[in-house]
Amino acid sequence: MALAAPAIEMPAPRERAAAKAVRVMTKAPLRVFLVVLGLLWLVPTFGLFITSILPQSTLATQGWWQIFSKPSLATWSNYHALLHNQGLISALETTAYIAVGNTVLVVVLGAMAGYALAWLEFPGRDWLFIGIVGLLVVPLQMALIPMFRLYDSVGIYGTVFSIILFHVGFGLPFAIFLLRNFFVGIPKDILESARIDGANELLIFVRLMLPLGLPAIASLAIFQFLWTWNDLIVSLTFGVQPITVWIFGQLREFGTSIDVIAPASFISLVVPLCVFFAFQRYFVQGLLAGSVK
């Protein structure tokens, strides 16, 4: 699966064998450089994983790379201990609720709004869209204090529900931006023939727009999921404890709690990494749709 769009193939000019040999030779240093750099880039993540399978007593005096000389040091006991840690289990559940719940809502509400802004006629539509695009840049720090007050007075402070709603609010401008731009590119004829056939807008939305918009919806869902799975600041502020906040609470004792922090951090990485590898194409598409395309 290519990360970037494949380069346009050039008709290869015929090469003499000597010229080809020279080309291969000059490329060798580049290859070595790329391999070394790529491995170097993986070292921190790899180090985190190795750290997570070493006992705390070892880590106090030795670096994680000691495992190369003493592979027998490796142990799953850190992970075993975590699996029986009720705090971590419920933090993981909270993370999953937040990430899945808000992603579903953002996709549904974003698709509806995106459809309306792309294909329904009503006054002020384009200005509305521009206004929503403008909201894309609002830093979420702008909402922390007012929502803290509001959540407190409504009585939903500290609930998973309040976090989901916050993520939906801040996820919608990007969702609408992405989906509206995708929907607007769907050929007019398809819609018009559906309308002529007497389909109402809800039917067109469910039967036509959602299936046709699937690539964009997939990109959006992956982004929203990853973003909210990885969130720290929102849950930290509104008194909810997903995995990031749970680990954050242990950071004060970094040295002595490393046997908890490292495996928990790695567990928190596994789901995003799986999503990333499984849907790399959509991930990159979303990235490009959001920036240049």
Partner 1 sequence: MLLRPLWGGGTPGAPRLGGAPPASGDPGRLGRSLTGAFFLAPALFMVGVWLVYPTVYTIVRSFFGPNGFVGSWVGVHNYKTLFTTSTLTTAIKNNAIWVAVVPALVVALGLIFAVLTERVRWAVAFKTAIFLPMAISAFATGVTWRIMYQQDPGVGAINALAKSISGVFSPAGVLSQAFPSTSALQATPGGGLELKAPLAPGGVARLGLVGMPVSGVPKGAVQAVLPTAHPGQIVGVVWRDFSPGGKPGVVDKGELGLPGVTVQLETAAGKTVKSTTAKPDGTFDFTGVAPGSYRAAIGARTFAKPFGGFSWLGPDLITPSLLIAYIWIWAGFAMVVIGAGLAAMPRDVLEAARTDGASEWQVFRRVTVPLLAPVLSVVFVTMIINVLKVFDLVISLAPESVQSNANVIALAMWRTAFGGENDFGTGSAIAVFLFLLVLPVLALNVRRFKREA
Interface with partner 1, residue 18, by CB under 8 A: no
The residue within the footprint of partner 1, chosen from 12, 16, 29, 123 (CB under 8 A), is: 123
Cβ–Cβ < 8 Å for 235, 242: yes
- Cβ count near 214 (within 10 Å): 13
Interface with partner 1, residue 51, by CB under 8 A: yes
Interface with partner 1, residue 97, by CB under 8 A: no
Q: How far is the CB of 159 from partner 1 (least distance, A)?
A: 15
The residue within the footprint of partner 1, chosen from 73, 100, 144, 218 (CB under 8 A), is: 144
**Residues 219-238: x/- map of binding to partner 1 (CB under 8 A)?**
----x--xx-xxxxx--xx-
- The long-range contacts involving 126-135, CB below 8 angstroms and separated by at least 24 positions, are 129/176, 129/180, 132/172, 132/173, 132/176, 132/177, 133/173, 133/177, 135/173
Closer to partner 1 by CB, 12 or 18: give it.
Answer: 12
Q: Which of residues 66-95 bind partner 1 (CB under 8 A)?
A: none
Interface with partner 1, residue 25, by CB under 8 A: no
Going by C-beta distance under 8 Å and a sequence separation of 6 or more, which residues neighbour residue 1?
280, 281
Q: Which of residues 198-217 bind partner 1 (CB under 8 A)?
A: 198, 201, 205
Interface with partner 1, residue 160, by CB under 8 A: no
Cβ–Cβ < 8 Å for 125, 191: no
Cα–chain center distance at 187: 30
| Euclidean distance between CA atoms 50 and 57, whole angstroms | 14
Interface with partner 1, residue 107, by CB under 8 A: no
Interface with partner 1, residue 269, by CB under 8 A: yes
